[in-house]
């Protein structure tokens, strides 16, 4: 069984009924989000027409027994530095938020569940890539 850290794209895909994301979550022993993902989601909700509904769905998701939140701390920052330095040395960059999400996964030994191929560029983490359908 897998412990998954959802990125923003996977969370959104879940609520759009993405079969691969749903299957991965059903097989998971635990599901995690971090403050970066939660912040990206809440920011998106503020721009949308269904803010209240989306906020309620997120709050409900965070209350599920298998869902946990991991924190961002000084150790995460060290992992972030390793990832960003490695990407720069390879001439590859990803978004700052994705680097923080990856650092969080690296720190806690979690697999990133995503529809975003950028995470595949990060050699320090495990990725369950479920391409957008």
Domains of the chain: 2-129 (3.40.50.1010)
8 Å CB contact between 121 and 15 = no
Predicted TM-score of the model (pTM)? 0.95
Determine the Cα–Cα distance for residues 30 and 69; give it in Å rounded to an integer. Answer: 11
Tell me, what's the pLDDT at 60? 97
**Closest to 123 in 3D by CA, of 95, 97, 85:** 85
Average pLDDT rounded to a whole number, residues 74-96: 96
Strand 67-69 to 28-33 pairing: parallel
8 Å CB contact between 70 and 62 = no
Tell me, what's the pLDDT at 16? 94
Tell me, what's the pLDDT at 1? 64
Determine the Cα–Cα distance for residues 57 and 63; give it in Å rounded to an integer. Answer: 10
Confidence of residue 84 (pLDDT cuts 50, 70, 90): very high
């Amino acid at each position: 069984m897998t412990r998954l850290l959802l990125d923003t794209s996977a969370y959104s895909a879940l609520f759009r009924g993405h079969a691969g994301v749903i299957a991965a979550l059903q097989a998971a022993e635990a599901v995690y989000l971090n403050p970066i993902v939660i912040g990206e989601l809440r920011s998106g909700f503020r721009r949308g027409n269904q803010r209240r509904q989306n906020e309620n769905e997120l709050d409900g998701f965070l209350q599920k027994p298998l869902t946990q939140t991991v924190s961002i701390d000084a150790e995460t920052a060290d992992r972030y530095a390793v990832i960003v330095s490695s990407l720069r040395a390879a001439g590859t960059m990803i978004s700052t938020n994705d680097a923080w999400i990856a650092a969080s996964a690296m720190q806690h030994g979690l697999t990133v569940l995503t529809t975003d191929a950028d995470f595949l560029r990060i050699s320090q983490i495990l990725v369950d890539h479920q391409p957008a359908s």
